[in-house]
């Protein structure tokens, strides 16, 4: 799998209240949530046309705070194709794996500017900033997580298990 | 090599020994969701085409975030989960008038017990670590998975040893301890890890303070924050007719880090905006004369009897400053009733506080006490992120009930000692 897109840069400790503020949690409709994606970190972000297919690049502890799955759902529904960060908060990472939003953890992520173009090769575990030519390597997921991703998310994985138990 | 408490709890349920780094699929005792997170889990469940949940016994649903429903859309969300609960025969669905904030309610009702494996689509599910349960926050899709097959996936986490000595000084409680610990760890210092509390000081920490401490493990990124099952736990469990056995980590367990804390050395803390890790001694913050507009006492962190009693001891015979408004939110119907019985409502109302029915309310900026642009609150809740209690131009300072109450009386952030 390969992804190419425009970069949007965010800082450290971006929390789920910034990604999707609680005042919009009266709904769980992805299209609606998409409009307010990153609203309290960057007002109006979710309504921009040019973020479709884009890639979020952030610092440490991205997605900290609440367990709301609305956060990765809003990012995915807004058309963001991948989130790259120095590190992710645990529940956010879990939610991304479960719903199938690609994320990458890279410790040294320096040298990204807003609107750089980045190419991510998931098979090779390499991404490249096409503006600067700088290449970054990343580790692939542990086997268990890979299985979840390959099944198309946790629900599909669970479906296969439930089916397997019945068949067996 | 000995075992951490986390490894022991997971191994006991798994039926064979697990170690740090293992991925396991495990049947859970409780799967919790609320009015914000349950709708997604329910939709995901029905999308699979399955008709019946794996076990309605595991399922707990507590509408508490936007309850009493603040508008039509939140009413629709609660209606949907209510219908699901009826259809699936979920008995542990708690309506207004019979409810409480989920993490106050579940231990109190004996739904979560020591030694249980608990997942909740709410990040503060780690609260039940106070009972010596393995409890952690997950997402709605994980809960849908439990609805389907009764199980969830876990990575057995590394553990950090928090070794506690001494006992709290006057005006110091669990909230000050956990704010101090988060300031040491930072907001991601315990990411993917379990915090395990042990040492001779643990016996000096009350059950309500333990709930407060475990509740905020997530604010350091922690997967869970677990207390050993000791005399105090057994006593608490007995009061709810639950029989359990003592359990603690082995002396030679594999901890990846040790932090030593002496309770005697902790001063009342205040976490300044916009991170829970920004805590300072109240005596230092007091010098800045931070004017406040609102006081909030409640939430899954500090909405229990010990908290209300502590606040009342400060409010007694005093009034809130004329420029301040104060909202007090008992964490459950049972806490509410007990507070009335002990005469605490009289004290609060005489001090000119507003007392609310149990709800998350202003904690997440939902309703009942949302802040305007430029307003400042001191709150016993757990998060002071940008916009957490309302307008992005507002600010939240986190503190214990006694510090919040004293500040309400003075009109600016104050040390209860100087009242
Ligand atoms: S009281 Fe606050 S932190 Fe606790 S469950 Fe409710 S919204 Fe979440």
For A71, B15, B60, B211, B309, the CA distances from B244, given in Å and listed in that order, are 38, 18, 22, 18, 29
pLDDT digits (tens, 9 = 90+) for B109-159: 999 999 999 999 999 999 999 999 999 999 999 999 999 999 999 999 999
- Hey, are the CB atoms on A69 and B388 less than 8 Å from each other? no
For B183, B399, B414, the CA distances from B270, given in Å and listed in that order, are 11, 5, 10
Most confident option among A158-162, B3-7, B21-25 = B3-7
- Alpha-carbon distance B327 to A15, whole Å? 26
**A85 neighbourhood in chain B, CB within 8 Å:** none
- Alpha-carbon distance A110 to B116, whole Å? 43
**Ligand 1 midpoint to CA B250 (Å):** 33
- For residue B102, the surrounding DSSP H or E stretch is helix B102-108
Domains annotated for chain B, with CATH where assigned, are 5-263 (3.30.499.10), 271-414 (3.30.499.10)
pLDDT digits (tens, 9 = 90+) for A101-122: 999 999 988 889 999 999 999 8
CATH number of A2-167: 3.20.19.10
What phi, psi does B44 have (nearest 5°)? -60, -40
- Hey, are the CB atoms on A154 and B187 less than 8 Å from each other? no
- For residue B154, the surrounding DSSP H or E stretch is strand B151-155
- Hey, are the CB atoms on B139 and A94 less than 8 Å from each other? yes
Mean pLDDT of chain A: 92
Report the predicted TM-score, pTM, of the whole model to 2 decimal places: 0.95
Q: How many CA atoms lie within 13 A of B78 on its CB side?
A: 18
Residue A77 reports pLDDT greater than 70: yes
- Alpha-carbon distance B41 to B62, whole Å? 14
- Hey, are the CB atoms on A26 and B43 less than 8 Å from each other? no
Q: CA torsion sign, B366 to A60 to B194 to B147? A: positive
Tokens of B186: 């930072």
Atom 2 (ligand 1): residue with closest C-alpha?
B363
pLDDT digits (tens, 9 = 90+) for B17-46: 999 999 999 999 999 999 999 999 999 999
pLDDT digits (tens, 9 = 90+) for B300-353: 999 999 999 999 999 999 999 999 999 999 999 999 999 999 999 999 999 999
- In the predicted model, what is the mean pLDDT of residues B192-196? 97
Q: Is B352 exposed, middle or buried (0-12, 13-18, 19+ CB in 10 A)?
A: middle
Using DSSP, state whether A84 is helix, strand or coil.
Answer: strand
For A166, B67, B87, B152, B156, the CA distances from A26, given in Å and listed in that order, are 37, 12, 23, 27, 34
Question: What pLDDT was estimated at residue A168?
Answer: 47
Under 8 Å CB-to-CB from A47, ≥6 apart: which residues? A35
- Interior angle at CA A76, CA A93 and CA B143, nearest 5: 50
Are B213 and B304 in contact, with CB atoms under 8 Å apart? no
- Can the peptide bond before residue A167 be classed as cis, meaning omega within 30 degrees of 0? no
**Structure confidence at residue A166 as a pLDDT band (50, 70, 90):** low
Share of chain B above pLDDT 70, in %: 100
Q: Which of residues 120-139 of A touch B (CB under 8 A)?
A: none
Question: What pLDDT was estimated at residue A100?
Answer: 87
Query: Best of B139, B193, B215 to disrupt the A interface by mutation (most A CBs within 10 Å)?
Result: B139
Question: What pLDDT was estimated at residue A150?
Answer: 81
- Where does ligand 1 bind, in terms of residues with CB under 6 Å? B 65, 101-103, 122, 124, 299-300, 360, 363-364, 381-382
Share of chain B above pLDDT 90, in %: 99
The ipTM value here is 0.91
Tell how strand A126-129 and strand A135-137 pair up: antiparallel
Tokens of A89: 């908060």
> Strand ranges (DSSP E) for chain A?
2-9, 55-58, 82-85, 103-105, 117-121, 126-129, 135-137
Are B66 and B367 in contact, with CB atoms under 8 Å apart? yes
Question: What pLDDT was estimated at residue A167?
Answer: 57
Nearest-neighbour CA in chain A from B252: distance (Å): 27
Q: Is residue A15 within 8 angstroms of chain B, CB to CB?
A: yes
pLDDT digits (tens, 9 = 90+) for B37-80: 999 999 999 999 999 999 999 999 999 999 999 999 999 999 99
Using DSSP, state whether B373 is helix, strand or coil.
Answer: coil
Sequence-ordered alpha helix ranges (H) in B272-343: 282-286, 299-302, 305-315, 333-341
**Ligand 1 midpoint to CA A87 (Å):** 25
Tokens of A10: 């965010």
Q: Output DSSP code: residue A49.
A: G
Are B173 and B210 in contact, with CB atoms under 8 Å apart? no
Q: Which residue does chain A place closest to B221, by CA atoms?
A: A89
Choose among A47, A49, A44, A51: nearest CA to A32. A47
Choose among B8, B283, B62: nearest CA to B169. B283
- Domain positions in chain A are 2-167
Residue B295 reports pLDDT greater than 70: yes
Q: Output DSSP code: residue B272.
A: P
Q: Of B125, B145, B221, which has the smallest distance from its Cβ to A90's Cβ?
A: B221
Choose among B53, B38, B74: nearest CA to B361. B74
**B48 neighbourhood in chain A, CB within 8 Å:** 155, 158-159
Q: Is B146 exposed, middle or buried (0-12, 13-18, 19+ CB in 10 A)?
A: buried
- Alpha-carbon distance B13 to B29, whole Å? 10
- Alpha-carbon distance B188 to B192, whole Å? 9
**Structure confidence at residue A140 as a pLDDT band (50, 70, 90):** confident
For A136, B243, B362, B383, the CA distances from B387, given in Å and listed in that order, are 35, 43, 11, 10
Question: What pLDDT was estimated at residue A151?
Answer: 87
**Residue with structure tokens 């209300």?**
B308
Are B178 and B222 in contact, with CB atoms under 8 Å apart? no
- In the predicted model, what is the mean pLDDT of residues B248-259? 97
- Alpha-carbon distance B290 to B287, whole Å? 8
- Interior angle at CA B225, CA B36 and CA B314, nearest 5: 80
pLDDT digits (tens, 9 = 90+) for A4-61: 999 999 999 999 999 999 999 999 999 999 999 999 999 999 999 999 999 999 999 9
Using DSSP, state whether B203 is helix, strand or coil.
Answer: helix
Q: Is residue A116 within 8 angstroms of chain B, CB to CB?
A: no
- In the predicted model, what is the mean pLDDT of residues A133-153? 88
**Structure confidence at residue B203 as a pLDDT band (50, 70, 90):** very high
Q: Is residue B8 within 8 angstroms of chain A, CB to CB?
A: no
- Hey, are the CB atoms on A161 and B386 less than 8 Å from each other? no
């Amino acid at each position: 799998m390969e992804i190419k897109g425009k970069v949007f840069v965010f800082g450290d400790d971006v929390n789920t209240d910034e990604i999707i503020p609680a005042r919009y949690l009266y709904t769980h409709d992805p299209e609606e949530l998409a409009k307010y994606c990153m609203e309290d970190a960057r007002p109006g972000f979710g309504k921009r046309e040019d973020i479709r297919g884009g890639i979020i690049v952030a610092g440490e502890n991205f997605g900290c705070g609440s367990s709301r799955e609305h956060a990765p759902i809003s990012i995915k529904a807004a058309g963001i194709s991948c989130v790259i960060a120095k590190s992710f908060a645990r529940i956010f990472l879990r939610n991304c794996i479960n719903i199938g939003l690609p994320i990458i953890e890279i410790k040294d992520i320096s040298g990204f500017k807003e609107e750089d173009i980045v190419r991510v090769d998931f098979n090779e575990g390499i991404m490249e900033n096409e503006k600067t030519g700088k290449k970054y390597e990343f580790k692939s997921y542990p086997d268990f997580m890979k299985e979840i991703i390959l099944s198309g998310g946790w629900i599909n994985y669970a479906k296969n298990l439930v089916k397997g138990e019945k068949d067996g | 090599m000995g075992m951490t408490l986390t490894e022991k709890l997971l191994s006991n349920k798994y039926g064979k020994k697990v170690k740090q780094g293992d991925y396991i699929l495990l049947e859970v005792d409780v799967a919790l969701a609320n009015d914000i997170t349950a709708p997604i889990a329910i939709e995901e469940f029905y999308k699979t085409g399955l008709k019946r949940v794996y076990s309605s016994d595991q399922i707990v649903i507590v509408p508490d975030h936007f309850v009493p429903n603040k508008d039509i859309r939140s009413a629709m969300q609660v209606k949907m989960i209510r219908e699901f609960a009826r259809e699936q025969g979920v008995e542990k669905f708690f309506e207004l008038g019979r409810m409480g904030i989920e993490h106050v309610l579940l231990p109190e009702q004996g739904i979560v017990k020591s030694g249980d494996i608990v997942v909740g689509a709410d990040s503060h599910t780690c609260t039940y670590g106070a009972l010596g349960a393995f409890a952690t926050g997950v997402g709605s899709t994980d809960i849908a998975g439990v609805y389907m097959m009764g199980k969830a996936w876990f990575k057995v986490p590394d553990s950090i040893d928090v070794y506690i000595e001494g006992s709290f000084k006057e005006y110091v409680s669990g909230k000050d301890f956990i704010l101090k610990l988060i300031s040491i760890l930072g907001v991601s210092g315990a990411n993917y890890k379990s915090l395990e509390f042990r040492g001779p000081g643990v016996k000096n920490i009350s059950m309500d303070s333990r709930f407060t401490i475990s509740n905020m493990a997530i604010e350091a990124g922690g997967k869970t924050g677990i207390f050993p099952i000791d005399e105090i736990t057994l006593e608490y469990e007995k009061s709810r007719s639950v029989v359990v056995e003592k359990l603690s980590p082995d002396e030679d367990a594999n901890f990846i880090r040790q932090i030593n804390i002496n309770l005697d050395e902790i001063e009342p803390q205040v976490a300044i905006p916009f991170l829970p890790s920004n805590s300072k001694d109240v005596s230092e913050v007091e010098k800045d004369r931070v004017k406040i507009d609102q006081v909030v006492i409640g939430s899954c962190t500090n909405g229990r009897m010990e908290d209300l009693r502590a606040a009342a001891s400060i409010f007694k015979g005093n009034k809130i400053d004329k420029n301040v408004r104060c909202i007090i939110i008992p964490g459950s119907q049972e806490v509410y009733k007990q507070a009335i019985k002990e005469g605490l409502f009289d004290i609060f109302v005489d001090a000119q506080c507003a007392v609310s029915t149990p709800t998350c309310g202003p904690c997440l900026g939902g309703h009942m006490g949302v802040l305007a642009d430029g307003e400042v609150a001191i709150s016993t809740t757990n998060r002071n992120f940008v916009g957490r209690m309302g307008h992005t131009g507002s600010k939240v300072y986190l503190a214990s009930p006694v510090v919040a109450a004293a500040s309400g009386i003075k009109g600016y952030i104050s040390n209860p000692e100087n009242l």
